[in-house]
Amino acid sequence: MLTEISAIAPQDTGEDTAVQIDGVSKSFSGTVALEPIRLKVRRGEFLTLLGPSGCGKTTLLNLIAGFLEADEGELFIDHDLVTQVPPHQRKIGIVFQNYALFPHMSVAQNVAYGLRTRRVPKAETAERVREALALVKLEDFADRRPRQLSGGQQQRVALARALVIRPRVLLLDEPFSALDRNLRSAMQVELREIQSRLGLTTVFVTHDQSEALSMSDRIAVMSRGRIRQIGTPSQIYDRPENHFVSTFVGDANLFAATLLEKTDATASLDIGTTRLSLATFQEELPEPGPVTLFVRPEQCSLTDPDQPGAIAATVALSVYQGSYAELHLDCSVAENGRVMLRVPASEAMEPGTDVGIALPERGPAIYTTTERET
Amino acid sequence: MRKSVLDHLLDWSGRIVLISILGFVLLPFVVVAIASLNDGAILSFPPKSWSLRWYANAFEYRDFGAGLVNSLRIAAVGATIALIAGAGFAYVFNRYDFMFKGLLNTVLMSPLIIPNFTIGLGLLILSTAASLPRSIWLVIAVHVVIVLPFVVRSVYVSLKNFERRYEQAAESLGGTPLHVLLTITLPLLLPGLISGALFAAILSFNEFTASLYVVNQRTQTLPVAMYNYVREYADPTLAALSVIYVAPVAAMLLLVHKFFRLEKVLNVD
Ligand SMILES: Nc1ncnc2c1ncn2[C@@H]1O[C@H](COP(=O)(O)OP(=O)(O)OP(=O)(O)O)[C@@H](O)[C@H]1O
Ligand SMILES: [Mg+2]
């Protein structure tokens, strides 16, 4: 028995892993919701699962929580194998989008629930409930019913209820999507503060990329039941590894191009009639042939249309955004016919103006065109 | 905002329609209530002279008192058994998949299509074949079979609308499945359970056809006692009793209303 367990125990990689997901997959009556997932969440880390609707984020969270049984693979929490452990023994804190506060209990009773199930003595329970409510600034609301609270307050009660049991991992499934914009950013800051103060390992689910970029230590970008890239927000934004990630996170300009030749440092391509030589951050480039060239708006600049190396475009629309203006350009070699870049508001141009787009020599990425998907 | 003439018209016609519907529903009761005050010994309408003597007669007639006690006992015990069994079935149906689920469902729901007298007759033949005494338990058994489908339906619907996230949250907080059932699921389902039991009790209290087969002099229910009375006498006692009859049903509804808001229980909220 012992040897069996040690055979599948996670290897010590030096850094402390709080959650290890080892080839866990899930199908629902034949439809694959999650391909085998490999993922390590570090202790104290704020990890975000980011992806479009239906990509399997909630499924993955439910597997970690134990509400679903994995088809295959193993799951470790704090190095314990928990694949077969029922949810009530996993010691995981959960916050749902709709809060799921128990409507027949007061705020204090809601928060105390996880202590009562563990038979924590009365005095200690009262003390810890008070602490937890203080943490989310709701000391004065202990005797209210959940329906007598605003959405933001209910969200905080849900957070206090999950934190009071001192969970090994905190899971949050789109907790802020029902809140209005101001409240949402306030709650984001508050959650992040509490999380880092407690050093709490956190897995956060969202389909809001700006929420993911601003809150996370690392982001796992998912699509169609797979993790497409995992890295820090700046790695995800600046060095997207594939077509999907590049378009899902941040704004992207994509050009249909032909890769002619690649060397270690540079690639030469044709974009329409323009020939360019570029250096990318990628370690591996696709094979020569039709490719997609990816450039962030802030990496593009405007030049004269006749400038060598410039890509011809026409201003279609200028959108005033206060401190800057978004220029939407018609461009025949762009994959969707449009290119967007930002200019100071004072430099906005009239629709119909012919311009040239200058691409940077370093920074853009080249993806195989076949990889396009949602 | 000021109301236009059309709004007023709609308002008034709406009220009139509502009152007509209410009147139509209540009409039989009103007629019976008036007839019960007739002084004459023949049930006639409208009465020529007035009296309360038939009420006194209804209270004095021994079979009615005994029938009422029987009916209340049968309704209470039958509804309780139906609630426990029905809630159990509904829970299993909602949460588990198993072989012959569809078949079992059909069997459970069949009392809805099988006439009550068939159920009564069937159980009578069975109990005679098994030489069981014709006790009150036989009547209760018949009533449970008849009301069970309503309880199963009612609880099943509440379970279907039940937010599973409550249970998941409770489980993640360390609640064992049994603890979660007792502290979260059951309390939140209580209105559905109460409404199921309430309907069961009222249906049972009103049941006549099946009861007729399985009662004897000692176990006869109030409706059966009334039937036996009307075969012998045609005076307004029954009309008086019909008015009195409303009282226990109204009491049941009021009792529930005291603890839960009736609108919620009856799902009209
Ligand atoms: N209980 C279930 N039965 C059948 N299919 C399911 C079930 N739960 C999820 N799925 C399917 O699995 C896929 C992933 O669903 P999941 O809820 O994990 O997506 P998600 O990323 O959380 O999406 P969203 O952002 O909309 O919440 C979807 O295609 C969904 O239809
Ligand atoms: Mg989801």
Atom 1 in ligand 1: which residue has the minimum CA distance?
Answer: A28
CATH H superfamily, domain A2-238:
P-loop containing nucleotide triphosphate hydrolases (3.40.50.300)
Q: What is the DSSP letter of A336?
A: T
Q: Is the Cβ–Cβ distance between B220 and B231 less than 8 Å?
A: no
- pTM (two decimals): 0.80
Best residue in B173, B179, B185, B261 to probe A by mutation, most A CBs within 10 Å?
B173
A166 CB near a chain B CB, below 8 Å? no
The identity of residue A309, as a single letter, is: G
Query: Could you tell me what percent of chain A has a pLDDT over 70?
Result: 95
Please identify which residue in the block is written with the tokens 């993790």. A227
A316 CB near a chain B CB, below 8 Å? no
Which CATH code for domain A253-371? Answer: 2.40.50.140
Query: pLDDT confidence of A243, banded at 50, 70, 90?
Result: confident
- Residues of chain A found within 8 Å of residue B182, distances taken between Cβ atoms: none
- What is the Rg, in whole angstroms, of the alpha carbon atoms belonging to chain A? 25
Q: Which atom of ligand 1 is nearest to the CA of A59?
A: 18
Task: Tell me whether residue B46 is exposed, middle or buried, using C-beta atoms within 10 angstroms of its C-beta: 0 to 12, 13 to 18, 19 or more.
Answer: exposed
SS3 content of chain A, % helix, strand, coil (to 5): 30, 35, 35
Mean pLDDT of B57-62: 86
Mean pLDDT of B15-39: 85
Query: pLDDT confidence of A10, banded at 50, 70, 90?
Result: very low
Mean pLDDT of chain A: 87
Do the first three CATH levels of A2-238 and A253-371 match, i.e. the same topology?
no
Q: Which helix (H) or strand (E) holds A25?
A: strand A17-28
Q: Where are the domains of chain B?
A: 59-265
The 10s digit of each residue's pLDDT in A171-183 is 999 998 888 888 8
Query: pLDDT confidence of B260, banded at 50, 70, 90?
Result: low
Q: Mean pLDDT check: name the lowest of A49-53, A358-362, B214-218, B264-268.
A: B264-268
The identity of residue A222, as a single letter, is: M
Nearest chain B CA: its distance from A93 CA (Å): 6
Whether omega for the bond prior to residue A10 falls within 30 degrees of 0, making it cis, is: no
Mean pLDDT of B114-120: 87
Pick the CATH number of B59-265 from 1.10.3720.10, 1.20.120.1150, 1.10.150.50, 1.10.10.60: 1.10.3720.10
- Residues of chain B found within 8 Å of residue A161, distances taken between Cβ atoms: 169, 173
The encoded tokens of residue A104 equal 């027949």
Q: Is the Cβ–Cβ distance between A302 and A309 less than 8 Å?
A: no
Residues with Cβ within 8 Å of B229's Cβ and at least 6 positions away in sequence, in order, are B61, B63, B64, B237, B238
Chain B: residue whose CA lies nearest to A171: B172
Angstrom distance (rounded) from CA B266 to CA B269:
8
Q: Where are the domains of chain A?
A: 2-238, 253-371
Angstrom distance (rounded) from CA A74 to CA A10:
10
A92 CB near a chain B CB, below 8 Å? yes
Q: Is the pLDDT of residue A372 over 70?
A: no
Mean pLDDT of B198-206: 88
